[in-house]
C-alpha cells in the first residue's frame, strides 16, 4: 500500500466491531512504533497495551464514555517516559552492545546529557510528550498499512488512567490509540487549502 493511500484512507475511527487483531499483525504494528525517530535516539515513550475488557470498561468513564475504548481490539496508552536519566543509561548500554566506536558513543552520550538532563522537569515532560506524537503517527499510519483502523484520542483524564493502570509517576499518559476493525464509515477528509498552510 502506497504511503499516499495510507494517509488519505486513515481516519479517526469512532467505533470498532470488537474483532481481535491477529497477533502477528499487532506485533508488526509494535515494530513500526518502536522504530519511530527520536532526538539522539532517546526513545522517551512507553506504551501500555490494554486488552482486558474489564479494564477497558473501567477506563471508559475517564475517556468521556467514548465507545472506541470498549469496542477496540487493543487499546494503546502512549505514555511519555520522563525518566531521562534511566533512558540515557539504557542508550549507553545499547550503543555498547552495538559496538559503536567509543569516540562516537562518547560524543552522543555527552550531547544527550547536555540536551535532556540540563533542563527543568517541565521541559523534560514537554520534550518526552512531543516525541510521543512521532510514535503515535507511526501507529496511526501503521495500523492502516496493516489493514486495520485506529483513532488518536487526547480527550481523557490522565490521572485516572495512571490510577487505574497503576502507572509509575515517571510515565505520563499522553495520547490514546485504540486499534481494531472499524464499524463506522469515514467522514469526507477536509483540510485547509495549501496556500493557508505553506508560505
* Alpha-carbon gap, residue 89 to 13, rounded angstroms: 38
CB 41 within 8 A of CB 144: no
Give the x-and-dash track for 138-157 against a copy of itself (CB under 8 A).
x-xxx--x------x-xx--
Q: CB of 61: closest distance to a copy of itself in angstroms? A: 18
Instruction: List the Cα angle 26/146/71 in 5-degree steps.
Output: 60
Closest residue by Cα to residue 153 from 13, 1, 10: 13
Q: Which one of residues 55, 109, 134, 183 is an interface residue with a copy of itself (CB under 8 A)?
A: 134
Helical axes 84-97 vs 102-112, angle rounded to 10°? 170
Which residues, 69 to 98, sit near a copy of itself by CB under 8 A? 90, 94-95, 98
Residues at the site binding a copy of itself, with contacts judged by CB under 8 A:
1-4, 6-8, 10, 12, 28, 30-37, 39, 41, 43, 45-49, 90, 94-95, 98, 115, 126, 129-131, 133-134, 136-138, 140-142, 145, 152, 154-155, 188-192, 194, 196-199
Amino acid at each position: 500500500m502506497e504511503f499516499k493511500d495510507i494517509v488519505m484512507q486513515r481516519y479517526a475511527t469512532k467505533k470498532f466491531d470488537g474483532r481481535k487483531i491477529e497477533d502477528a499483525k499487532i506485533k508488526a504494528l509494535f515494530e513500526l512504533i518502536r522504530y519511530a525517530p527520536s532526538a539522539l535516539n532517546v526513545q522517551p515513550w512507553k506504551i501500555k497495551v490494554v486488552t482486558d475488557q474489564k479494564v477497558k470498561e473501567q477506563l471508559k468513564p475517564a475517556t468521556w464514555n467514548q465507545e472506541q475504548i470498549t469496542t477496540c481490539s487493543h487499546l494503546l496508552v502512549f505514555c511519555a517516559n520522563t525518566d531521562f536519566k534511566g533512558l540515557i543509561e539504557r542508550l549507553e548500554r545499547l550503543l555498547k552492545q552495538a559496538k559503536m566506536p567509543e569516540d562516537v558513543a562518547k560524543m552522543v552520550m555527552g550531547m544527550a546529557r547536555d540536551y535532556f538532563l540540563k533542563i527543568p522537569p517541565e521541559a523534560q515532560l514537554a520534550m518526552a510528550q512531543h516525541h510521543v506524537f512521532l510514535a503515535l503517527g507511526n501507529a496511526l499510519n501503521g495500523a492502516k498499512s496493516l489493514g486495520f483502523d485506529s483513532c488518536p484520542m487526547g480527550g481523557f483524564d490522565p490521572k485516572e488512567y495512571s490510577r487505574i493502570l497503576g502507572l509509575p509517576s515517571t510515565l505520563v499518559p499522553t495520547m490514546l490509540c485504540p486499534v481494531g476493525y472499524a464499524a463506522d464509515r469515514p467522514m469526507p477528509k477536509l483540510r485547509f487549502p495549501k496556500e493557508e498552510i505553506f508560505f
